[in-house]
Amino acid sequence: MSTPAQVRVRFSPSPTGIPHVGLVRTALFNWAHARHHGGTLVFRIEDTDASRDSAESYEALLDALNWLGLDWDEGVEKGGPHGPYRQSERGQIYADALRRLIEGGEVYESFSLAAEIEARHRAAGRDPKLGYDNADRDLTDEQKAAFRAEGRSPVYRLRMPEHDITFTDLVRGEITFRAGQVPDFVLARGDGTPLYPLTNPVDDALMEITHVLRGEDLLASTPRQIALLQALQRVGIGNGPFVYAHLPLVTGEGNRKLSKRDPESNLFHHRDRGFVPEGLLNYLALLGWSIADDRDVFSLEEMVAAFDVSRVSGNAARFDVKKAEAINAAHLRLLAPDDFAARVVPYLAAEGIELTTDQEQLLAAAAPLVQERSQVLSDAARMLAFLFRDEDSFAPDADAAAKNLNADAAPVLEAAVAGLTDLPEWTAAAIEESLKSSLVDGLGLKPRKAFGPVRVAISGRTVSPPLYESMELLGRERSLARLGAGVRLARGMG
């Protein structure tokens, strides 16, 4: 299928709750498709459900897109020729579209009650849960008047075509829905209040959307949209159906759909842990697409250059936290050291550490020590926090202390203090030589037994930056003070 000269795609979420990683993956694929083809991304808001939509959720969407760097060309916050871009502000547009559909004979009034529809199915020996049976298509004016006299209010239904609906999905190939498989469906209530099955296609038609990339959970609604787009075209609205690509579901454990109740579904959960936009977007791109069979790490610019929606897999894509962390770690290693250090600062703040000017210089020196060891920025902050705590607020992790600062550790730490106290120069190389001489050669300890207690006494953790470099950065006075405190703690545990 040839690509139109001007690609126009849309991202049209409802502002409900915290942004879901599956929703952001959809935004990313739409963004990449538009950027690859030099097209337009429209960002509109579907906010007609006042009971679920909220200003806070809308602000969260903006926050998410801005943090990730997924910009849009037209829509909310930017404007454009097809506004307004909030459904709640487009009521007159939907009313006009409904009027034209009614006048064109594409839509009819339906009065059947759910109980009546079930009864007709039972009488005909059909499954009573089949749904609407198109029984009201040809009601006379007298019948309609009689229903109104009973106090019934109709709904407006689209008259579905009596032929198969076939379309080519860019992800799934040719798909056919047989005639009669999809019943006439409701577009609006009797008072004209539009429903989502009307508003979404009307917006797409009037905004001249050419491609719709959306989740496969919406595939079942595609024949309804195609039928409505054809009907709208017949009454002078839009250019008929466009190109669809139904993206694979994002799943969690057990291949079930990733629920909003799952922590990993929450975009901000990953940001709070210290994913960087480059790493998270890279991983989200892998949920259904790949740049090459033998390559997982790439930039957003490389994705745009290579993105082809027809290469998206139709299979469900499982959100694998471990792989996401590995991808993020690769992007952390690609950062310039000063950039990495700057990005760690907010996560140190989350640890209760506000840096002074001198400490900013210390961070610049220390950050490269953990850049290769960090999967997320919070890892780096936790590993570096010991450098910025004064001795009154510093305390080793309880589990690490219990395993490494017990009674057996006291003579190890005392030997370390003895060897380091009069060290002529306080450098990593000199510290290493002294500790190895005092603990490995002097006490006959294996390195793990020798340096484990020292590491925990100095950093408070079993995982830290390289020990000797850490002690050099911490300084002689503070290092010896912490080793002394470690001795007291170990003696106390005895």
CA nearest neighbour of 393 among 485, 465, 287, 462: 485
Residue 303: how many CB atoms within 10 A of its CB?
Answer: 20
The structure tokens listed for 357 are: 């000017």
- The CA distance from 401 to 448, in Å, is 15
- The CA distance from 190 to 204, in Å, is 24
Instruction: Give, for 369, the enclosing helix (H) or strand (E).
Output: helix 357-371
Active site residue 260: yes
DSSP 292: B
- The CA distance from 85 to 400, in Å, is 55
b/e per residue 16-42 (b: at least 16 CB within 10 A):
bebbbbbbbbbbbbbbbbbbbbebbbb
Look-up of token digits 């929450």: 266
Catalytic residue among 260, 323, 436, 446: 260
* Cis peptide preceding 337, ω within 30 of 0: no
DSSP 194: B
CA dihedral 346, 351, 356, 357 (to 10 degrees): -40
Which three-class secondary structure state does DSSP give residue 418? helix
Look-up of token digits 């050099």: 472
The structure tokens listed for 348 are: 């140190």
- The CA distance from 187 to 102, in Å, is 11
Task: Measure Cα distances from 84 to 77, 128, 399, 474 in Å.
Answer: 10, 42, 57, 58
Q: At what angle do helices 357-371 and 337-350 cross, to 10 degrees?
A: 110
Instruction: Give, for 212, the enclosing helix (H) or strand (E).
Output: strand 211-215
Positions marked active-site: 260
